[in-house]
Amino acid sequence: MEVPCKTFVIPNELCRRAGLAGVWAPLNEVAVFPSHLVKAHNPDAPSPYGPSNASVYKVRQQVILFEPILRKLVNEANGTFLSVQELISNNVLDSKVELQKLSCQYRSIIRACLENLQDEAMRDKTNYKEELQNYITIFYSVECVWHLCEILFVENIPGGVVLPHLLEWIRFHFPKYERKAATLLAGDLVGIETHPDYWQTVIGSLMQGRIEVVRALLRLHSAGDSKPFKLVDQALKAMPTYNIYSGVSATEFNLKWKHWLVDTQSKIDAKLFISEKHLHLMMRLSVGEETAWNEVQSHCEAWYELLAAWLVFTEPTVKSFELGQFARRCIARMNVGLRMRHLDYVLLAAMEADIIQVIKEIQQMSENGWFVSHLTDLLYHAGRLVVLDNNPESHLVGSRLRECFLLDYGTLLMGHTSLWQVGLSYLDHCPTEGLKTIELLLPRLPLKSEARTQKIIREAHKRDLPQIIQSICKIQAMNSLKRGHLGNALTWGIKSQDGTFTSLLADKFLREYCKNGKLLNIDLLDSLGSSMLISDRLIFLGKYFEFHKEYRSRNYKESANLLISLLSSKLTPKYFWATLLDDTIPLLECNELIMSSLDTFTLLHCLQEKSDLPELQDKIELIRLGAARNLSRALMYEAQLVK
Amino acid sequence: MFEAQEINAEHKDLIHDVAYDFYGERMATCSSDQYVKVWDQTSDGKWNLTSSWKAHSGSVWKVTWAHPEFGQVLATCSFDRTAAVWEELVGETPGPGERGTRHWVRRTNLVDSRTSVTDVKFGPRTQGLQLATCSADGIIRIYEAPDVMNLSQWTLQHEIQCKLSCSCLSWNPSLSKNHPLMLAVGSDDNNPSNGGKIFIYEYSDNIRRWMKTETISSVTEAVHDISFSPNLGRSFHLLAVATKDLRILSLSPIADNANVQSGLYKLDIQTAAQFDDHGCMVWRVCWNITGTILASSGDDGCVRMFKMNCINAWKPVAVLKGDGSHVANEGHRSSVCSAASLPTPPVAAVVSQTARYIKLGTISQSREVPWH
Amino acid sequence: MVQNVHGTFISEKINKIRWRPDPFNDSHSFITGSWDNDQNNIKLWNFEKGEDDADIYPFVIQNYEFEGDVTEAKFINSDYCVVSSSLGSVYYLKITNTLTGDVQITNEKLWSNIHKFKNQDPSLCTSFTVYENDVVTAGEDGRVNVLNLQNKDVLRTIEEADSCSLNCITFVKHSEVLTGNSRGQMKIFDLRVKGNQPTNSFMLSGDQIAATCLAYHPNQRHMVVAGDEDGSLTVWDLRQNSFPVNLLSAHSESVSEIQFHPDHPDQMFSCSFSGELWHWITNKPGSHGGKLLNVSEMESNSWLSTESIKNKFEVFMLMPKLHKAINSIDLSRDRVLCGCDNEAIYLINKVNIYS
């Protein structure tokens, strides 16, 4: 199925003259702009196209699924999709039956969506109505195909006796006769046959195999007691129906069927129904008379409507695998081969059990992959794609096919502001490339608020993607920094668990202190706890804050201990030495003795080591003096203690 | 079906490059008019010009965003022989009722090149803030900012002589830690007898040097753009090449064949796909984020998109083409499909209240291969 | 437990859902506030109660287009509600029935961009708390704003109430609010005291786990429950000290909201990003003869009883775990509403409230 790709027109003259260049924009958009190749060696001159007004065009796929009315379908189906995955991963024994239930669930979601669309289309007076009608057309086809695929590929039909299911399908999708019958029965029953729809309804019901309805309508005919009517009623009552559970074997049934045909044919030949042409026609249809069928087939809206009817009276025991040939016959019979719509092709492919063709066709259904992703997934789990794997000719593999659709669908949803969480749950179920795709897409989600960021981080956490969490935290820290929210930046830095990065943030606090003598965000510094351990600089900052805190609460001894431990810690950044050494002065000059001789030696040692720091030059003498005085005080005091 | 939003870029000449930030919320453009412009998307989808400045004294060839972990940072390169790194500053003292004033400051001007700087790209996020440039005289330079909070300090870490004039470069974005840093450089040298026009360099941690591991001999015509595909956990790398046609090359490290000194592997290079759809010179290639669709631009004036299908074969999926005669036809029904396909949405509606999107008309009437 | 769960898909993710109080009858009306959408909305819903509750279809009566995400919403009475936005604004909305029978939502007052960062970027208003006409708001900018519904000005701003993002705030007395931040630091501010210093502060846990939501006991305001990022609930008696009385590890992910039943404070509801909706019951009917104890007695408050608290609880899941986050819950008698990230709202009828 190789088809040439479409060319789309960018309505811009400059783009035509100069030519287009394109770049991708996250996530699913292409930006195109007028440009042309300039070789590096050419002289740098204005292009022949300027001066001109160049525009950038952001091109994206139109996604109908993002319409509010269809988003219900996206979200609700997501629940069912996840149930399918759960079912499979739980290895339930009876998964086939459960799968069919879930298939029904999908269909009821489509049905709800269609009803919703119909309500809306009725109500809408704007030109959006046309759009809604269009969606109805699309999803009606989706429902129709899904139903048939469910019957043929998901449901476990005993003995492959497909006709009752096929009839159910036809009745569901061509409800007109049922509705008309209901209208007729609800109206005036006297002279019911004078209603213009009467015979159409009777014959239509017959063709849908609703024998009881036909008999009921015939009984209401004012001539219902006459001979031909009685005979028809008897014949229809006697008509055998094939049922796998009736205990009648196929051969036995065929004998009965043949017998009934001969019997009915003889009544037709005896012209017993000729007085009422409609009855005559009905009986001729019942025995499968070609000319009779030629008369009615024009009333069929579609070849598959004819197919079901025709099978009722000619091939009641038809098996699923035989459907294709009969379908082709009906198409030929109705001469619609050249007028096949897309839906016709899909249904035909399904009846011919050509699953790959079905999948290829439904890709075209302009609902942005919702259908093909979910159906392919279902068929894969129903074991229907195994045929692919066994075919050495094709490179297609069932699991790969399923994953491709899910990847595309998930990626599409990831590009939507609100539906990204839904998108993730599809990518989660792509065993080979899902996680890598998430790794590429998840960090691209705009962070916007912290609330949203937390949700994105949780998703990364659930999938064990620590490097993404780290990156997001660092981006948040940078954003907070840009906003002048230093405390929050440090919080995000700590959350990032990146020591180097956190150190750079801690530096900002220390440098600010050097500059303005103010420690910022003390509520934060006061409650760092063990989180400070991720970076040396943060430990220094935390401890330095503690020193300040102790000093302010006049616990000079504790503050001196902290200061001395910082001085000897090797954690002090170069730019902070002057400040740190300067901080010793008030402690040295205190009335009571704070620093021991040992402390003072440590200080003097540091002072010696850092003596050539330029920013220390105007203070160093002062500190030295203070230290010397303190040392003498301390030594005297300590000497007294020893005594 | 596609729809498009027009943003009048207000450049006075053709645009050479458009770059989106990591999230697709900001857009930078550059042009022969020597200006760089930055656009921000508002919450209702419109694009506003928030900064515009004369960045160079020659045509600005490329503009590129650093990863947001490093803040709001751009790099540009120009015919004026320089590359520059720009950082956005947000003033804390806005005018009354205004958002903070934003402006871009040149943090560094990289003036080592003696000729036009043809491409500039930031290295992978995990490597810190690295910047690679290449120039028309065939020199590749790798710079680094050791302190990511101080972008005015850049050091020239490596200088690699490539001999042929360089037109483009691409970092391998591979997420895996097992791959060494890899750079591909393309040359637009016109002489096929000068041999292969794509060079692969890898960084050896052992000897702390960039080593040329490969010259791709299958491409001997001038190369105008190259781009590594994001790696989805594959064992091989994919490189898109814009030359006289469009190529996709696969590069697989050959196991058990590491160079003793550098610890680097030789590469097995195969052509994974080759397209002559443009029918002429191709000069721009770009991968989408997941590396599933490749967009190429050529001298036929078209942007063509190629998608990898589920049997790992590349297929053209859509073409974009400029045509001013369709302007008046904006309302024309764009989606005339073949009889076999379902009716597609009509043209009316879906003009969102805020950001205006126009539906794009089509030329061919064939059935469309789904983009997704 | 027999419950009826009615789900409705509504095409937007719901961040807040609140019953519209009806002073005389069972409420049949509620509002939803969306988030993360291109166009966010506040919607007023109604539903008709069927004969047997079998089919309940809520329908929208009025839509109010909202700028930014809806971050919190609270009814003051049946006609007025306060709503906050991700752009740092607070709205005082009025619901009126017009003469023609239509319902209108109008903006009575707007405190615009009262949360913002130093560079003037808008900041999310994360939470607010209401006491009579007083409203106190908290934001990601670490600010606290004091408003009065009768006054269009911001009465007071505590500029740097917190260095980090504030996630939740609640009145503990008319003059005191409790805040929780993104590192789990809890602070009590006395609104009468000037300056940005709290009167008390303590940590949720030692691990810098963010507090996500707060609720107080309807009869005993000093009893406060906080939910956190890891899904745990922490209970304090603020009269005693700053150490939690109880720590309950509950959900597997962030707790999004906690609510006590206003008439039955022995029962509590919590929901989580994990998609869980839980009903907590202390004071099991069996052990006390099914009678509600007199809550004025300190001992009767099982939430504060330290010993063997596990034995005093029963926890019920009100509906099967959802695949997406539940962001908000609200209750009215025996009916619970919840709003979720799967773009659906759920109404649960006949929740078994022991009384």
Distance CA C89, CA C136 (A): 13
pLDDT value of residue C283: 62
pLDDT higher than 70, residue C71 = yes
Q: How far apart are CA B129 and CA B68, in angstroms?
A: 11
More confident residue, A386 or A547: A547
Model pLDDT, residue B101: 65
Interface touch A68/C344, C-beta < 8 Å: no
Structural contact between residues A61 and B305, judged by C-beta atoms closer than 8 angstroms? no
Of B10, B69, B317, the CB nearest to A474: B69
What DSSP element (H or E) covers A123?
helix A95-123
Least CB-CB distance to A33: which of B18, B175, B342? B18
Residue A602 clears pLDDT 80, i.e. is over it: yes
Contact call for C118 and B98, based on CB within 8 A: no
Min mean pLDDT across A138-142, A223-227, A555-559 is at A223-227
pLDDT of residue A618: 86
Q: What is the pLDDT of residue C301?
A: 61
Q: Do C38 and B44 touch (CB under 8 A)?
A: yes
DSSP class of residue C294 equals -
Helix ranges (DSSP H) in A497-611: 499-516, 522-525, 536-552, 556-567, 577-582, 584-588, 597-609
Question: Ramachandran region of residue C162, left (φ > 0), alpha (ψ -120 to 50) or beta?
Answer: beta
pLDDT tier, A191 (very low <50, low <70, confident <90, very high otherwise): confident
**Given this model, what pLDDT does residue A178 score?**
93
Coil, strand or helix at C54:
coil
* Model pLDDT for residues A14-53, shown as the tens digit of each residue: 999 999 999 999 989 999 999 988 876 778 888 888 777 8
Task: Supply the mean pLDDT for chain C.
Answer: 88
Q: Give the pTM.
A: 0.92
| Average pLDDT along chain A | 92
User: Which tens digits make up the pLDDT trace of C247-288?
Assistant: 888 899 999 999 999 888 889 999 999 999 999 988 654 444
ipTM value? 0.92
Subunit contact C341:A452, Cβ cutoff 8 A:
no
User: What pLDDT was estimated at residue C51?
Assistant: 58
C-alpha A346/C-alpha A594 separation (Å) is: 92
Using 50, 70 and 90 to split pLDDT, how confident is the model at C76? very high
List subunits contacting chain B, requiring 3 or more Cβ pairs under 8 Å.
A, C
The pLDDT value given to residue A32: 96
Q: At which residue do the structure tokens 């509801």 appear?
A: C269
Residues of A within 8 A of B23 (CB-CB) are: 26, 444-447
Q: What is residue B16's predicted lDDT score, i.e. its pLDDT? A: 94
Residue A112: predicted pLDDT: 95
CA distances from A572 to A510, A536, A579, A609, C109 (A): 10, 9, 10, 13, 53
Residue C234 · residue C223 · CB < 8 Å = no
Nearest to C118 among B43, B45, B92 (CB): B92
| Residue in C141, C183, C325 closest to A491 by CB | C183
Tell me which chain C residues have a C-beta less than 8 angstroms from the C-beta of B91: 119
Considering only CB atoms, B321 lies closest to which of A7, A51, A501, namely: A7
- Interchain contact B232–A (C-beta under 8 A): yes
Q: Which residues of chain B have pLDDT under 70?
A: 91-101, 175-178, 326-355, 364-372
Check if B301 contacts C (Cβ < 8 Å): no
Q: Which of C78, C73, C62 is nearest to C33 (CA)?
A: C73
Domains of chain B in start order, with CATH, are 3-333 (2.130.10.10), 334-372 (no CATH)
The H-or-E segment that residue A459 falls in is helix A450-462
Going by the DSSP 8-state scheme, the letter that residue A151 receives in this structure is I
Distance from C-alpha of C139 to C-alpha of C165, rounded to nearest angstrom: 6
pLDDT of residue A640 exceeding 70: yes
Is a pLDDT exceeding 80 seen at residue C299?
A: no
Query: How many angstroms separate the CA atoms of C316 and C281, rounded?
Result: 8
H/E run at residue B250? strand B246-258
Count the Cβ atoms, other than its own, within 10 Å of residue C21: 15
**Domain spans of chain C?**
4-349
Phi and psi, residue B13, nearest 5°: -150, -175
Mean pLDDT of C313-324: 89
What are the tens digits of pLDDT across the range C126-153?
999 999 999 999 999 999 999 999 999 9
> Which of A76-80, A506-510, A543-547, B1-5 is least confident?
B1-5
What residues pair up with C279 in beta bridges, in sequence order? C269, C316
User: Do C68 and B99 make contact, defined as CB atoms within 8 angstroms?
Assistant: no
**Residue-level pLDDT at C115:** 97
Which residues does C126 contact at the CB level (< 8 Å), separation at least 6? A450, A451, C71, C72, C84, C138, C139, C140, C165, C166, C167, C168, C169
In degrees rounded to 5, what are phi and psi of residue A360?
-60, -40
| DSSP code of residue A195 | S
User: What is the pLDDT at residue B93?
Assistant: 54
**What is the pairing mode between strands B83-90 and B102-110?**
antiparallel
Cβ of C68 within 8 Å of Cβ of B98? The answer is no
Model pLDDT, residue C310:
52
The amino acid that residue B114 corresponds to is R
Interface of A with C in 61-90 (CB under 8 A): 68-69, 71-72, 75-76, 78-79, 82
Q: What is the pLDDT of residues A114-173, one digit of tens each?
A: 999 999 999 988 889 999 999 999 999 999 999 999 999 999 888 888 999 999 999 999
Structure tokens at C235: 């209970």
A6-10 vs B314-322, strand pairing mode: parallel
Scan residues 307-366 of B and list those with Cβ closer than 8 Å to C.
Answer: 352
Which of C41, C118, C120 to mutate against chain B (most B CBs within 10 Å)? Answer: C120
Q: Which fold has domain C4-349?
A: Methylamine Dehydrogenase; Chain H (2.130.10)
> In this predicted structure, what is the pLDDT of residue A362?
93
Give the residue-averaged pLDDT of C77-81.
Answer: 95
Q: Which residues of C touch B (CB under 8 A)?
A: 38, 68, 118-121
Q: Do C119 and B91 touch (CB under 8 A)?
A: yes
CA C238/CA B86 separation, integer angstroms: 52
A472 in reach of chain B (CB within 8 A): no
Cβ pair C121:B92 closer than 8 A: no
- What's the confidence (pLDDT) of residue C23? 84
CB atoms under 10 Å from CB of B6, counted, come to 16
- How many CB atoms neighbour CB A546 within 10 A? 17
Q: Which residues in C lie closer than 8 A to residue A452 (C-beta atoms)?
A: 35-36
| Cα atoms in the 13 Å half-sphere on the side-chain side of A271 | 2
Query: What pLDDT is stored for residue B323 in this prediction?
Result: 87
Name beta bridge partners: B293.
B307
Q: Is A79 within 8 Å of C323 when comparing Cβ atoms?
A: yes
Q: What is the pLDDT of residue C288?
A: 41
Q: How far apart are alpha carbons B37 and C217 in whole angstroms?
A: 56
Tell me the H-state helices in B291-363.
Answer: none
Q: How far apart are CA B152 and CA B137, in angstroms?
A: 26
* Chain C residues whose beta carbon lies within 8 Å of the beta carbon of residue B89: none
How big is the CA angle at B281 (ends B280 and B286), to the nearest 5 degrees? 120
Could you read off the pLDDT of A272-314 as tens digits, one per residue?
A: 999 899 999 999 999 999 999 999 988 899 999 999 999 999 9
- What is the per-residue pLDDT across C93-113, written as a single tens digit (0 to 9) for each? 999 988 888 899 999 999 999
Neighboring chain A residues of C35 at a CB cutoff of 8 Å:
451-452
B345 vs A: CB within 8 A: yes
Residue C254 sits at φ, ψ, to 5 deg, of: -35, 135
Per DSSP, what are the bridge partners of residue A58? A31, B5
Distance (Å, rounded) from C-alpha A608 to C-alpha A620?
A: 9
Give B184→chain A minimum CA distance, Å: 18
Facing residue for B100 by CB, picked from C38, C68, C121: C121
Identify the pLDDT of residue B347.
35
How many CB pairs lie under 8 A apart between chains A and C?
119
Residue of A nearest to B57 (CA): A44
